[in-house]
Amino acid sequence: MRKFQKRSIALIVLAVIAVAFGLTGCGNTDKTTPGESTPEQIAVSSGEEHSAAFSFADVSNLQFWFGSGAGGWCTVLNIAEDGSFSGEYMDSELGAQTTYLCDFTGQFSQPIQVNDDTYSVQLESISYERESGTEERAVVEGYDWTYSYTEPYGLDDATELLIYLPGTPVADLPEGYQRWMSGYGDEIGSELPFYGLYNVNGEQGFSSYVIEPGD
């Protein structure tokens, strides 16, 4: 995953401005918002079957995405085979010429099976590259801009997170998770077509998609 700090400030500003005119969204520009996703994009992979015993290796080629599909904000998260994770959050407030950022890393506990479709993990640790509440200011391409470092939306008060396997009956998912999936509309159907990640305390739900080469 390419981190914001590895991009030039000028590119971030231009990306934020593009969001305002509907030219791009959070993350890679070839990804669509939940309401616009195609079945091919949200499918884990054609014909793939997960093993009976889930492990983090099953999702190490996926990226988990949390966003509303509007406003140009999102949190993306990648989980490694050992349960460590990294991610980034970005939002922008063009009227105030402010971009909110957070690059973070952390560790999940080993998954414990809850039922046939669900595993539980604990958030053992999380750290931020820049201290939450700090700011930087810059003038780029004639714009006065503020970079405000914050905490990642989607992991609010997180302690327990649930991982839902593809094929989980949507009717069995908590309302808190279903609300965040409502943007997919009829594309989900009666069963979850991807791995889901749910922050129980924050009632915030991530969907997943396969990471393409170069992402």
pLDDT of residue 40: 38
Question: What is the gyration radius of the CA atoms in the chain, in angstroms?
Answer: 17
Name which of 46, 102, 107 is nearest 81 in CA terms: 107
CA distance 210 to 62: 5
DSSP H helical ranges for 46-197: 175-181
Of 64, 67, 102, the C-alpha closest to 85 is 64
Nearest one of 213, 206, 193, 171 to 48, comparing CA atoms:
193
Length of the chain: 215
Q: Which has the closest alpha carbon to 187: 83, 60, 30, 41?
A: 41
Q: Are 165 and 118 in contact, with CB atoms under 8 Å apart? A: yes
**Residue 179 is encoded by which pair of tokens?**
């609300």
In whole angstroms, give the CA distance from residue 45 to residue 69. 23
Residue 40 three-state SS: helix
Give 145: exposed, middle or buried? Use CB within 10 Å, 0-12, 13-18, 19+.
buried
Burial class (CB in 10 A: 0-12, 13-18, 19+), 211: middle
Mean pLDDT across the chain, nearest whole number?
A: 79
Predicted TM-score (pTM) of this structure = 0.77
pLDDT at position 52 over 80? no
pLDDT at 25 over 60: no
- Residue reference for tokens 């080993």: 110
Residue 27 has pLDDT above 50, yes or no: no
How much is the pLDDT for 68? 75
Separation of CA 111 from chain center: 19
- In this prediction, residue 140 carries a pLDDT of 76
pLDDT-based confidence at residue 133 (cuts at 50, 70, 90): very high
- Tokens read off for 17: 């401005």
